[in-house]
Amino acid sequence: MANLNEEGAGLLDSLKNFGERVKGVIFGRNNYPPAERNIIQQYGNDKIIGITIYREPLDEKINGLVNAITLGKFNSIKNKYSIDELYHLFMVVTLENSVPILVEKNEVINLHQYPAIKPKAQKFVLNIPPNFNCTFKQLLDAGQAYMGKDWFTYDPLSNNCQRFIMSILNAQPNLIKANPTANQFVVQNVSGLERDLTPATKSLFNGITGLASRLNVLARGAGFGVNYK
């Protein structure tokens, strides 16, 4: 026969998790998703021995969707400024235990072990200086301190994947000094897109992104009660 205390505790946990998800859907998640927190908990104190930055062209389906949303203006503006491809940026951090972890920012920050890199992805292997003594958690914490309140939020034009990656690098002076051309690989000038797209289109982008981040809470949990050290 089931223990009533255990059943009651299980019900309370379920209600708490449900409440956290509802809170996350309404207000957003101002923290890492639960699975990402587990990775930080597991590997946060491991030292970094390698970092590779990748960029890959946006999927044609995404480009087509954005162009449809903007009634053809997206491709028109790209042609105006001679933008052949738009890229998604991410990095793979290799830790001292040889575990590679993908670090990227879409509508939320994603961390994945042993990522599968697409063949079309271009890469930039960072030179790790001898005085770079940084753990995985320290890398993330420094990036968050550098970006402040923008670390967990997302805007496809002004607070996107390339700003996220560049902020992580800029938060590490020794690393950026050892890789003076990294910014040329990371930063793609999209100021023309941001300037020429209408305010209504920008609002629509932000609305879609905000919805995606809240759906992420529903799919992966909020984890407001979970902390990592």
53-111: pLDDT as tens digits = 998 887 666 666 666 766 676 666 666 644 556 778 899 999 998 999 999 988 789 89
Which residue range(s) make up the domain with 135? 29-220
Residue 10 in any domain: the answer is no
Contacting residues for 172 by C-beta, under 8 A, at least 6 apart: 132, 134, 139, 142
Domain count along the chain: 1
Q: State how far the Cα of 77 lies from the Cα of 215, in Å rounded to an integer.
A: 30
| Count of C-beta atoms within a 10 Å radius of residue 216 | 20
CA–CA gap between residue 61 and residue 111 (Å, rounded) = 24
pLDDT of the residue at 12? 46
Q: Which residues pair with 105 in a beta bridge?
A: 109
Instruction: Look at residue 215 and tell me if it is in a domain.
Output: yes
Taking CB atoms within 8 Å and a gap of at least 24, the contacts of 12-19 are 16/225, 17/221, 17/222
In a domain, 102, yes or no: yes
CA 120 from chain center: how many Å?
20
Taking 70 as the pLDDT cut, the residues of the chain under it are 1-29, 59-67, 69-71, 73-85, 189-229
- Residue 43 lies inside a defined structural domain of this protein: yes
Q: Is residue 1 part of a domain?
A: no
| Residue 38, strand partner residues | none
Is there a domain that residue 4 lies in? Answer: no
C-alpha atoms less than 13 angstroms from C-alpha of 48 in its C-beta half-sphere? 26
Q: Identify whether 133 is part of a domain.
A: yes
Whole-structure pTM value: 0.71
> Is the residue at 18 inside a domain?
no
